[in-house]
Each structure stands twice: as C-alpha cells, then as structure tokens.
C-alpha cells in the first residue's frame, strides 16, 4: 500500500491514492475526498494531483463564441 503525505491544518495527513474520489479547489486550500472521508490540505490542486500520480490535462483551446443573428 502506497501512502502519500500531505500537510493539513490538523497536522500531517497520509492518503492512499487508490481511495481518492476527487480533488477540489476550496477558497484557500484543496479538498481531497476519499471513500471514507474528506481532508483539507495546504497544497495547490495541481500539486496534489501530481503527488497522487494523476496526469492533469489542461484545456488551452480558445473558446469560440457563435453569434446568432
């Protein structure tokens, strides 16, 4: 079992990447939701995803707005 170490407000948090359901950006921090509970960590969402072993794809395609007239 591989555990990833994060810094949370309550102290050090160890998370198993297999049990992670989602990683969401909160107002100031990042929320990691697992099968059992949720944790708030200080790292950015991109850093959390990279540490969990996820490849993040960022869409840089410009949005084209269709004008109806």
- Give a yes or no: residue 15 inside a domain: yes
Query: What is the pLDDT, as a whole number, of residue 54?
Result: 82
The tens place of each residue's pLDDT in the chain, 69 residues long, gives 799 999 998 899 999 999 999 898 888 899 999 999 999 999 998 899 899 998 766 666 777 777 776
Best CA proximity match to 57, nearest among 65, 48, 46, 67: 46
Return d(Cα 20, Cα 15) in angstroms, integer: 8
- Give a yes or no: residue 63 inside a domain: no
The pair of structure tokens assigned to 15 is 């998370």
Return d(Cα 4, Cα 16) in angstroms, integer: 6
pTM beyond 0.95, yes or no: no
Element at 52 (helix H, strand E):
helix 45-52
- Give a yes or no: residue 57 inside a domain: no
Please count the structural domains in the chain: 1
The percent of the chain in helix, strand and coil, each rounded to the nearest 5, is: 15, 35, 50
Query: What is the pLDDT, as a whole number, of residue 58?
Result: 64
Query: What is the pLDDT, as a whole number, of residue 57?
Result: 65
Tell me the residue range of the domain where 35 lies: 4-52
């Amino acid at each position: 079992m591989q555990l990833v170490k994060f810094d949370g407000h309550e102290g050090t948090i160890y998370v198993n990447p297999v049990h992670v359901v989602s990683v969401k950006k909160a107002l100031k921090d990042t929320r990691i939701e697992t099968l059992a509970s949720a944790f708030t960590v200080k790292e950015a969402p991109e850093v959390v995803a990279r540490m969990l072993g996820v490849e993040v794809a960022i869409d840089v395609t410009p949005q084209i707005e269709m004008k109806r007239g």
